Amino acid sequence: MSKVIAIANQKGGVGKTTTTVNLVASLAAMRRKILMIDMDPQGNATTGFGIDKHDQNPALHDVLLGRVPAADILYEIPETNIAVLPGTPDLTVAEVGLMQREQREFRLKMALQPLVSDYDFILVDCPPSLNMLTVNALVAADGVVIPMQCEYYALEGLSALVNTIDEISASANPGLKIMGLIRTMYDPRSNLSRDVSDQLQSHFKDRLYATSIPRNIRLAEAPSHGLPVLNYDKNSRGALAYLALAAEMLRKDSHAEVGGSAW
């Protein structure tokens, strides 16, 4: 059964897009069929797979505004199990246009209905804000994965995101839950990193993934080559960390499906 996962955090610079791109590549390497949706007008997840975000017409904003079906803009990554709905700067137009549309929060969910059964996982890279694009992703999702750095301000912003998820769960998407939190750019030598990690463990318990993502130069370099780190340097610490994270996600998902409490 397909799972739609929103990768969300309204704070920028926490490794959200890096996590989306590299989880997609890692899950695909484990023989899962994956669809990635780039809901961020910056289009960084799109360029992370070597796709020109300025050469997409029609594009995702046309899908959200009901002009074309999602299947018309699918981009298949050659020799992989990955398809992409690319993000473009015109998504800012969609955000404004959605405000005047009926069922504006449900546009992505409705667009995905013909596609959802074709994939094992659909990962949505959300914008770094709690806007209508992010709301659409959360309404369409089964669960939310939250990447975050272990720093003071990250904790401060987390409460706003959790409140938004709770509000959407109480209204538009009753099944929405936090699947897990990922510690990104994690440095175990830092007292602050360890302190924040301990607070996350105390509050979120088994929803904090055991796998953390370290600071890694290969992770930083890979996007400039239009590649996930797994394709850029498969033996790097960053690539191995995301493979471990994907394996942990699959274990938790399998446990949940047989009646466990991972969600």
Query: Is position 243 within any domain?
Result: yes
- At residue 260, the pLDDT reads 44
Which two three-digit tokens encode residue 151? Answer: 């720093």
Task: Give Dmax (Cα) for the chain.
Answer: 51
**Residues 171-201, buried b or exposed e (16+ Cβ, 10 A)?**
ebbeebbbbbbbbbbbeeeeeebeebbeebe
Determine the structural domain holding residue 201 and report its residue range: 3-251
- At residue 127, the pLDDT reads 95
Specify the CATH number for the domain of residue 195. 3.40.50.300
User: How many whole angstroms separate alpha carbon 218 and alpha carbon 48?
Assistant: 13
Note down pLDDT in tens along the chain; length 263 residues: 789 999 999 988 899 999 999 999 999 999 999 999 999 999 999 999 999 999 999 999 999 999 999 999 999 999 999 999 999 999 999 989 998 889 999 999 999 999 999 999 999 999 999 999 999 999 999 999 999 998 877 777 788 899 999 999 999 999 999 999 999 999 988 898 899 899 899 989 999 999 999 999 999 999 999 999 999 999 999 999 999 999 999 998 887 665 444 33
Query: Is position 256 within any domain?
Result: no
pLDDT 10s digits, 184-205: 999 988 898 899 899 899 989 9
Query: Is position 175 within any domain?
Result: yes
- At residue 87, the pLDDT reads 96
- At residue 100, the pLDDT reads 87
Query: Is position 263 within any domain?
Result: no
pTM over cut 0.75: yes
- At residue 155, the pLDDT reads 77
Helices (H), the chain: 16-29, 44-47, 60-64, 91-98, 107-112, 132-140, 152-169, 191-204, 217-221, 229-232, 237-257
Amino acid at 209: Y
State how beta strands 75-76 and 121-125 pair: unpaired
Query: Is position 120 within any domain?
Result: yes
CA quadruple 250, 256, 262, 263: dihedral positive or negative?
positive
CB neighbour class for 31 (10 Å; exposed up to 12, middle 13-18, buried from 19): exposed
Query: Is position 260 within any domain?
Result: no
Query: Is position 32 within any domain?
Result: yes
List, as own/partner pairs, every contact residues 227-232 make where C-beta atoms lie below 8 angstroms and the sequence separation is at least 24, other chains included. Answer: 227/48, 227/49, 227/50, 228/21, 228/22, 228/24, 228/25, 228/26, 228/48, 228/49, 229/22, 229/25, 230/22, 230/25, 230/26, 230/29, 231/25
User: How many whole angstroms separate alpha carbon 65 and alpha carbon 101?
Assistant: 8
Query: Is position 131 within any domain?
Result: yes
CA quadruple 136, 142, 245, 236: dihedral positive or negative?
negative
**Total structural domains in the chain?**
1
